[in-house]
């Protein structure tokens, strides 16, 4: 009888003490990332008098909602909510457009039977390395496409990104084998049917990843509004908050005013309002991140796994 050699696979594991140490280390790192944002929220809820007398503190002497009252009071509240609605629409619709165009482009250049895949891959790479510049973009958007003061001026400039294309191209090459596509073609499925019913269900982590990138870009965008938007009804939230911040800075630096006006300006919650603006602009997108986290990690790490 021939003796069979059984290979012993040694699985190295950390000891319980090492696991406990690394868990504590990672927890401390996570808390260190969370503490600054909590501190910003506390400062936004601190009265301006307390900030002037005692400075920043985790335990302020006096709590106040004056910063949020200033931002959301009177006519400012209607502008805030209108800008918030514009930003939500631009973020949701722009993310759908970006994910759709990116997925279609990346899937085509990921297939080996597409004869022009190298050309379109290099085309996407060149646009990532060499940007046309602000003047060229402005001329195209205003003089050629006539999109100034339209909602499309906030959507189309970021509707397709070369970085997301390359991420999805790698994702499709790793997760969608050619054998599945060939089997579907033999069964008589069209290219669009293959893409919708076979490719998209396999590409959910990658699409979620690029959707998160696109949503962050649309939510934080204010520069396109600065260039193309003059209609107050189309101003997004980030641009409006930036204008509020600039107004506060201008009023704080103004000199030569009467004592009554200067006293009124001194009562403005400038420091706490700055932090309130950060909270308003950051909190909604931060709350949505946990819903994408599982797909986000899977989408970014798929290219590092070798079979």
CATH number of the domain that residue 275 is part of:
1.10.3720.10
Total domains in the chain come to: 1
The reply to whether 277 falls in a domain is yes
For 216, counting Cβ atoms within 10 Å of its Cβ (0-12 exposed, 13-18 middle, 19+ buried), the class is middle
Give residues with Cβ within 8 angstroms of 103, minimum separation 6.
168, 200, 203, 207, 210
In a domain, 51, yes or no: no
Closest CA to 200 of 212, 189, 211, 192: 192
Query: Closest by alpha carbon to 105, among 85, 125, 76, 91?
Result: 125
Question: Would residue 195 count as lying in a domain?
Answer: yes
Query: Going by C-beta distance under 8 Å and a sequence separation of 6 or more, which residues neighbour residue 266?
Result: none
Q: How far is CA 162 from CA 176, 239, 253, 277, in A?
A: 20, 25, 42, 31
Supply the Cα-derived Rg of the chain in whole angstroms: 26
Q: Report whether 268 contacts 285 (CB < 8 A).
A: no
pLDDT reported for residue 270: 67
Residues of the chain falling short of pLDDT 70 = 1-14, 74-75, 248, 250-270, 292-307
pLDDT value of residue 49: 79
Strand partners, 63: 46
Residue 34 lies in a domain: no
CA distance 118 to 122: 6
Whether residue 17 is contained in a domain is answered as no
Domain-located, residue 158? yes
- The residue range of the domain holding 157 is 74-304
State the DSSP H helix or E strand holding residue 207, giving kind and residue range, or none if neither: helix 204-220
Identify whether 48 is part of a domain.
no
Contact 111, 102 (CB under 8 A): no
Is position 131 within any domain? yes
Nearest to 123 by CA among 100, 107, 137, 105: 105
For residue 298, the model assigns a pLDDT of 57
């Amino acid at each position: 009888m021939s003796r069979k050699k059984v290979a012993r696979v040694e699985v190295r594991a950390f000891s319980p003490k090492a696991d406990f140490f690394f868990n504590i280390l990672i927890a401390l790192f996570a808390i260190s990332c969370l503490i600054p944002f909590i501190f910003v929220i506390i400062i936004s809820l601190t009265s301006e008098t307390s900030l002037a007398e005692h400075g920043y503190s985790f335990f302020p002497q006096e709590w106040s909602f004056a910063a949020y009252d200033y931002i959301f009071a009177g006519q400012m509240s209607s502008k805030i909510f209108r800008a918030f609605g514009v930003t939500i629409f631009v973020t949701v619709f722009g993310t759908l457009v970006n994910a759709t165009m990116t997925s279609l482009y990346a899937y085509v250049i990921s297939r080996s039977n597409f004869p022009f895949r190298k050309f379109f891959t290099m085309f996407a790479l060149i646009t990532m390395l060499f940007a046309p510049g602000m003047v060229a973009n402005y001329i195209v958007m205003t003089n050629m496409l006539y999109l100034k003061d339209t909602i499309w001026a906030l959507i189309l400039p970021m509707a397709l990104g070369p970085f997301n294309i390359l991420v999805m191209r790698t994702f499709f090459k790793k997760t969608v084998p050619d054998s599945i596509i060939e089997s579907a073609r033999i069964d008589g499925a069209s290219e669009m049917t293959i893409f919708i019913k076979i490719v998209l269900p396999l590409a959910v982590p990658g699409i979620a990843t690029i959707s998160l990138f696109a949503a962050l870009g649309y939510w934080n965008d204010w520069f396109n509004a600065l260039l193309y938007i003059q209609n107050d009804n189309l101003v997004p939230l980030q641009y409006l908050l930036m204008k509020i911040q600039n107004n506060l800075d201008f009023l704080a630096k103004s000199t030569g005013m009467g004592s009554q006006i200067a006293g009124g300006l001194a009562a403005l919650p400038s420091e706490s309002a700055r932090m309130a603006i950060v909270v308003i602009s950051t909190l909604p997108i931060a709350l949505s991140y946990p819903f994408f986290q599982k797909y986000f990690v899977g989408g970014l790490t798929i290219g590092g796994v070798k079979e």
